Amino acid sequence: GENVEQHPSTLSVQEGDSAVIKCTYSDSASNYFPWYKQELGKGPQLIIDIRSNVGEKKDQRIAVTLNKTAKHFSLHITETQPEDSAVYFCAASIRAGANNLFFGTGTRLTVIP
Amino acid sequence: DSGVTQTPKHLITATGQRVTLRCSPRSGDLSVYWYQQSLDQGLQFLIQYYNGEERAKGNILERFSAQQFPDLHSELNLSSLELGDSALYFCASSPVGQATGELFFGEGSRLTVL
């Protein structure tokens, strides 16, 4: 099955700096890559996703890049704010809508004011 | 608020016991998923139901079972509990038959086995 690895497990940045979280996957058939944000005491929430026919996608301060050849994808958060502090999970699936969504182990991001 | 409701929020029990976790999906969502989140672990997919029928199984132990009722709420039953079953259990729902891409998660049920 798919194996998703995520790094780093913890990340601390100063407010205003950028944060980058990286994930690799093993199954070349995967072509849907969502990112979820989990705030303290809450369930994960989708923040952005990308499909394999796209190399990069942006939504305000958040961007995701995908390199299918190298089987890795990354989340970039620019101009970080304290409210960005949370645990971020990457995931991979053979397609959007598949029930076999494989999650990474999460990155705890702390934005220091 | 995702619209997915899970009860109870916290549960403390002893080894060997049995518990039931309940999930009400978003209005209109037919699919329900159960995930387990252990300390320092990612989200492990347990099982999916669609409109009352089991659709897919993941890493679900034989001691665990689930079902989805006609009103679409779902229950996850955990029996013969062990210390290692202590975790956060999430329910998620998605619209139509399969996820269109987004899973809507509840706030989780934290199970502590002593």
DSSP line for A11-70: EEEETTS-EEEEEEES-TT--EEEEEEE-TTS--EEEEEEETT-SEEEETTEEEEEETTT
Strand partners, A93: A32
Q: pLDDT averaged over consecutive 10-residue blocks of chain A (113 residues)?
A: 91 98 94 93 92 88 95 97 96 74 93 96
Evaluate whether A47 touches A37 at the Cβ level (below 8 Å): yes
Q: What is the pLDDT of residue A25?
A: 96
DSSP state of A101: P
Evaluate whether A105 touches B40 at the Cβ level (below 8 Å): yes
Is there a contact between B90 and A4 if contact means CB atoms under 8 Å apart?
no
Q: What is the pLDDT of residue A2?
A: 82
Q: What is the pLDDT of residue B99?
A: 45
Q: What is the pLDDT of residue B84?
A: 93
Instruction: Report the C-alpha gap between B111 and B58 in whole angstroms.
Output: 20
Listing DSSP states for B43-99 in one string gives EEEEEEEETTEEEEE-S--TTEEEEE-TTS-EEEEE-S--GGG-EEEEEEEESSSS-
Instruction: Report the C-alpha gap between A107 and A85 in whole angstroms.
Output: 10
Instruction: Report the C-alpha gap between B28 and A68 in whole angstroms.
Output: 35
Q: What is the pLDDT of residue A97?
A: 63
A98 CA: distance to closest CA in chain B (Å)? 7
Q: What SS3 state is found at B84? A: helix
Instruction: Report the C-alpha gap between A101 and A96 in whole angstroms.
Output: 9
Q: What is the pLDDT of residue B49?
A: 92
Which tokens belong to B67? Answer: 């079902």
pLDDT digits (tens, 9 = 90+) for B56-102: 888 899 999 999 999 999 999 999 999 999 999 999 998 764 545 78
Q: What is the pLDDT of residue A8?
A: 97
Strand partners, A14: A112
Q: Taking an 8 Å Cβ-Cβ cutoff, which residues of chain B contact chain A?
A: 2, 4, 31, 33, 40-45, 48, 55-56, 58, 90, 92, 94, 98-103, 105-108
Q: What SS3 state is found at B47? A: strand
Instruction: Report the C-alpha gap between B19 and B13 in whole angstroms.
Output: 8
